[in-house]
Amino acid sequence: MNAVQKSESGWRPNPRAAGRRRSDRLATALGMIAAGILVLVLASILWTLLSRGLAGLSFAALFNPMGPPGSRGGLANAIVGSLIQTAIALLIATPLGLGCGIYLSEYGENNRFASCVRFVSDVLMSVPSILVGLFVYQILVAPLGHFSAIAGSVALAILAVPIIVRTTEDMLRLVPVAMREAGAALGAARWRVTIFLCLRSAKTGVLTGILLALARVSGETAPLLFTSLGNQNWSFSLNRPMASLPVAIYQYAGASYDDWVQLAWAGALLVTLGVLAINIAVRFSARRG
Amino acid sequence: MAGVDFSVFFRSQSPSRMTTAQTARTEMDSSAEPAQRRIGADTAFRLFVGACALLVLVALGGLVVLMGVGGHKAFSTFGLAFSFTDVWNPVADLYGALAPLFGTIISTLIGVTIALPLAFGTAFWLTAIAPPRVAAVVGTAIQLLAAVPSIIFGMWGFFTIVPFMARHVQPFLSHNFHHVPGIRFLIHGAPFGTGLMTAGIVLAVMIAPFMTAVMRDVFAAMPAMLRESAYGLGATRWDVMWKVVVPWSRSGMIGAAVLGMGRALGETMAVTFVIGNVTAVGWSLFAPRSTVASLIALQFPESPAGSLRLSSLLALGFILMLLSFASLALARLLRGDRK
C-alpha cells in the first residue's frame, strides 16, 4: 500500500510506523518461537511416552500381578486397584459434591454460610494434593493403625469433590428460573423440582464435572502414598493396602531394574491414555450437548 | 397449601398464576401424598444438601487444624525459629524449614519465570498469528495436555532433562562461566543433572499448558469489536496485543499466572524425581536440593508416629498450606480489582 500511495500523493512513511512494524515482526517471531518451543516439548513428552510405553506394553504387563525384578511381573493388580479406588472415590464424591453444589445454587443466595462454603471449596480445589494425603493419614490411617484402600479412596474423593461442586453449581445456575416456576406451578415439591427438572436439564454439564473429577483423580499419586500405600500382591480387601497404577509407576520408575522401568513407562502410558480419553470424551459430549 | 409452597420458594409468583397452578395441582394430585409429608421431604432434602455443604467446610477446616495440631510439637520445640533454620538432621533430631522452603520458592519462581513468557507467546500466537484451523488443533492439544498427570512430567524430566543437564548443560556452563564472578556461585556444583534449575524447567513445562489455556480463554473472551477497531485504525498485531488485549485482560492473565504458581508450589511428583533431595541451602541452581512437598513424600514413610520428625513434616505441611492459601488469596485479590 505504501508504494502506491507514495507515488501518487508524495506521502512518506512515518518513521514511527516503521518502528511499530519492526516491533510487530519481532513480537510475531518471538510468539512463534514460544509456541514452537512449547509444542516441541509437549510433543517430546508424548513421543517419549509412546515409544517407551509401547515397548513395555505386553500381555504380561497387562495380565500379570506385580512381581520381583526379572520374574515377568506385570501391572494387573495395580490397574485393578486403581479402578477400584477411583470408583469408590467417585461413589463418595458424587453425592457429596452434587449435594453441596445443589445447596450452593438453590439455597445459597445472599447467604453467609454458602459464600463461606464456596470459598472453602475453591481453596480445596487448589490445595496441594500431598497435604490431602497427610490429612487422611491422620484421620483414617493413624487411628486405625494400618494403611487401607478405603483411606486412599477418601483422599481421592476429597480431591474430586470441589470440582464436582463447582461444575454442579455453575450448571444449575444456567437452568432458567421459568423452568423451576413451571415445576412448582404443577405442584411439585421443591426437592422434586430440583432433582427431576433442574438436575435433569443440567445433566450434561454435571456429568462433565464428574468426568473431569475422574480424570483429575485417576492420575494422582501423592495422596495415595500415605493412605493406600501400594501392594505387590493381589488384594481386594478395602481394609488393607491396595496397589494403584500411579504409585506403582512411582516405585518402578526410580528402580535400577530395566524391566521395572519398562513397566513404569507402560503404566505411565496407560494412565495418560486413560486421562486423555476421558478429557476427549468430555469435549466430544460438550460439543454435541 | 400450594400457596404456602410458592410464597416460600418463589417470591416472583403472581396471584393469577397461583390460581392456575392450584387448579393444575388439584387435577394432578388426586392420588398424591398429603402436603404435610411433602414439606417434610423438602426439609429433609434441604438438610441433606446443607449437610453436604457443611461436610466440605469441615474437610478444609479439619485439614488446616490437623496440620497445625500435628506440627504443634515441632513449633513448640523449635519456636518460630523453625521457619528460619536450615538444618534438617534426623540423626541429631534437629529440624528447620528453611532448606525445603527455599527450594520450593526458588524452583517455583524459576518455573513461573520460564512458563510465563512461553505461555504468553503461545497464547499470542494462537489468538493473533496462527491460521484459525491450526490454532484450533494446537489449542485443543495444549488444553488436553494440561490434564496430563504430574507424575508423567516427573518421569519425563527424570529420563530426559536430567541426563541432558548432566551431560551437556552443566559441563558447558562450568567450562565457560566458571571464572565469571557474578555467575560462578549460581552454577557451582558437580554435574548430577538434578537441582533447582531442572525442577524449575519441569515445573515450567507442567504449568505452561495450563497457563496457555487460561490465557487463550481470557484473550478470546474479549469483545471482537475492540480488536477490530484497533486494526481498523491501522494498528499492527503487536500493537493490538500490547495496547488493547493485554490491558483489557490484565487481571485474567495475572490470575492465570498465580494459579500456575499455586500448582507449582504444591507439586510433589514432578519435583521429587528431579530435585535431587538434599536438604541444604545454597545459591547454586544446579546442586541437588529439596522442596517441602518432595521432603514430605520421601521422609514421611520413614518417620515413626509421634516423633519430632513427623511433627516437623506436618509443620512443613502447615506452612505449605499457608503458602498455597496465600497464592489463591493473591489471585482473588488481583482478579477482584476489576469489578
Residues 127-156 of A with CB under 8 A from B: 127-132, 134-135, 137-139, 142
Cell numbers at A233, concatenated: 500382591
Q: Which residues of B touch A139 (CB under 8 A)?
A: 62, 66
How many angstroms separate the CA atoms of B4 and B27, rounded? 18
> Residue B250 above 60 pLDDT?
yes
**Considering CB atoms only, which of B17, B154, B263 is closest to A185?**
B17
Q: Which of A62, A3, A25 is closest to A248 using CA atoms?
A: A62
Mean pLDDT check: name the lowest of A128-142, B14-28, B152-166, B308-322: B14-28
Which residue on chain A is closest to B66 by alpha carbon? A135
Pairing label, strands B94-95, B88-89: antiparallel
How would residue A9 be classed by pLDDT, with cut points 50, 70 and 90?
low
Task: State residue A36's pLDDT score.
Answer: 95
- Return the residue in A22, A48, A126, A137 with the most chain B beta carbons within 10 A, the one to mutate for interface testing: A126
pTM of the model: 0.88
3-state secondary structure of B283: coil
- Residue B308: exposed, middle, or buried by beta-carbon count in 10 A (0-12, 13-18, 19+)? middle
In degrees and rounded to multiples of 5, residue A242 shows phi and psi of: -130, 145
Task: State residue A286's pLDDT score.
Answer: 74
Average pLDDT over residues B313-321: 93
B141-166 pLDDT tens trace = 999 989 999 999 999 999 999 999 99
Average pLDDT over residues B270-293: 89
**In percent, how much of chain B has pLDDT > 70?**
87
Average pLDDT over residues B91-118: 93
| Residue B26 near residue A185 (C-beta atoms within 8 A) | no
Residue given cell 490470575 in the structure block: B255
Q: Which residues of B touch A116 (CB under 8 A)?
A: 57
DSSP B300: G
| CB-based contact B144 A106, cutoff 8 Å | no
- Mean residue pLDDT across chain A: 90
Task: State residue B36's pLDDT score.
Answer: 58
Task: State residue B230's pLDDT score.
Answer: 93
- Mean residue pLDDT across chain B: 85
To which CATH superfamily is domain B82-336 assigned?
A: MetI-like (1.10.3720.10)
Residue given cell 478429557 in the structure block: A279
B158-205 pLDDT tens trace = 999 999 999 999 888 888 887 887 787 788 888 888 999 999 999 999
Task: State residue B21's pLDDT score.
Answer: 45
Task: State residue A70's pLDDT score.
Answer: 83
Task: State residue B29's pLDDT score.
Answer: 47
Task: State residue B330's pLDDT score.
Answer: 86
Average pLDDT over residues A72-99: 94
> Residue A7 above 70 pLDDT?
no
Task: State residue B86's pLDDT score.
Answer: 86
CATH architecture, range A59-288:
Orthogonal Bundle (1.10)
Handedness of CA B236, B238, B244, B245 (dihedral sign): positive
Average pLDDT over residues A243-272: 92
> Residue A60 above 90 pLDDT?
no
Task: State residue A127's pLDDT score.
Answer: 92
Task: State residue B39's pLDDT score.
Answer: 66
Which of A225-250 are b and which e, b meaning 16 or more Cβ less than 10 Å from the residue's Cβ? Answer: bbbbbbbbeebeebebbbbbbbbbbb
CA distance to partner chain A, nearest, from residue B18 (Å): 7
The angle, 0 to 180 degrees and rounded to 10, between the axes of the packed helices B15-28 and A177-185 is 50
- How many residues are there in chain B? 339
Handedness of CA A53, B142, A220, A276 (dihedral sign): negative
**Strand pairing partners for B289?**
B276
A185-195 pLDDT tens trace = 999 988 999 99
> Residue B11 above 50 pLDDT?
no
Location of each CATH 1.10.3720.10 domain in chain B: 82-336
A107-118 pLDDT tens trace = 988 789 999 999
Contacts of A61 (CB under 8 A, 6+ apart): A74, A75, A263, A266
Average pLDDT over residues A81-101: 95
More confident residue, B76 or B13: B76
Type of residue at B277 = N
Q: Which of A158, A41, A276 is closest to B203 using CA atoms?
A: A41
Q: Which residues of A touch B238 (CB under 8 A)?
A: 20, 23-24, 26-28
For residue B50, give the H/E element and its range.
helix B35-78
| CB-based contact A38 B118, cutoff 8 Å | yes
The ipTM (two decimal places) reads 0.89
Task: State residue B7's pLDDT score.
Answer: 34
How would residue B17 be classed by pLDDT, with cut points 50, 70 and 90?
very low
How many angstroms separate the CA atoms of B272 and B292, rounded? 10
> Residue A137 above 50 pLDDT?
yes
Task: State residue A15's pLDDT score.
Answer: 81
Type of residue at A101 = G
3-state secondary structure of B223: coil
Average pLDDT over residues A28-55: 94
Alpha carbon dihedral A159, A165, A166, A170, in 10-degree steps, equals 160
| CB-based contact B50 A20, cutoff 8 Å | no
3-state SS string for chain A: CHHHHHHHHCCCCCHHHHHHHHHHHHHHHHHHHHHHHHHHHHHHHHHHHHHHHHHHCCHHHHHCCCCCCCCCCCCHHHHHHHHHHHHHHHHHHHHHHHHHHHHHHHHCCCCHHHHHHHHHHHHHHCCCHHHHHHHHHHHHHHHHCCCCHHHHHHHHHHHHHHHHHHHHHHHHHHCCHHHHHHHHHCCCCHHHHHHHHHHHHCHHHHHHHHHHHHHHHHCCCHHHHCCCECCCCCCCCCCCCECCHHHHHHHHHCCCCHHHHHHHHHHHHHHHHHHHHHHHHHHHHHHHC
- Return the residue in B5, B56, B206 with the most chain A beta carbons within 10 A, the one to mutate for interface testing: B56
> Residue B30 above 60 pLDDT?
no
CB atoms within 10 A of CB B4: 10
How would residue A232 be classed by pLDDT, with cut points 50, 70 and 90?
confident
Greatest alpha-carbon pair distance for chain A in Å reads 90
CB atoms within 10 A of CB A264: 26
| Residue B284 near residue B44 (C-beta atoms within 8 A) | no
How many angstroms separate the CA atoms of A90 and A73, rounded? 29
Task: State residue B219's pLDDT score.
Answer: 92
> Residue A166 above 90 pLDDT?
yes
Average pLDDT over residues B83-103: 88
**Strand pairing partners for B89?**
B94
| CB-based contact B129 A48, cutoff 8 Å | no
Contacts of B247 (CB under 8 A, 6+ apart): none
How would residue B280 be classed by pLDDT, with cut points 50, 70 and 90?
confident
Tell me the domain boundaries of chain A. 15-56, 59-288
**In percent, how much of chain A has pLDDT > 70?**
96
**Considering CB atoms only, which of B149, B267, B301 is closest to A275?**
B149
How would residue A10 be classed by pLDDT, with cut points 50, 70 and 90?
low
> Residue B89 above 90 pLDDT?
no
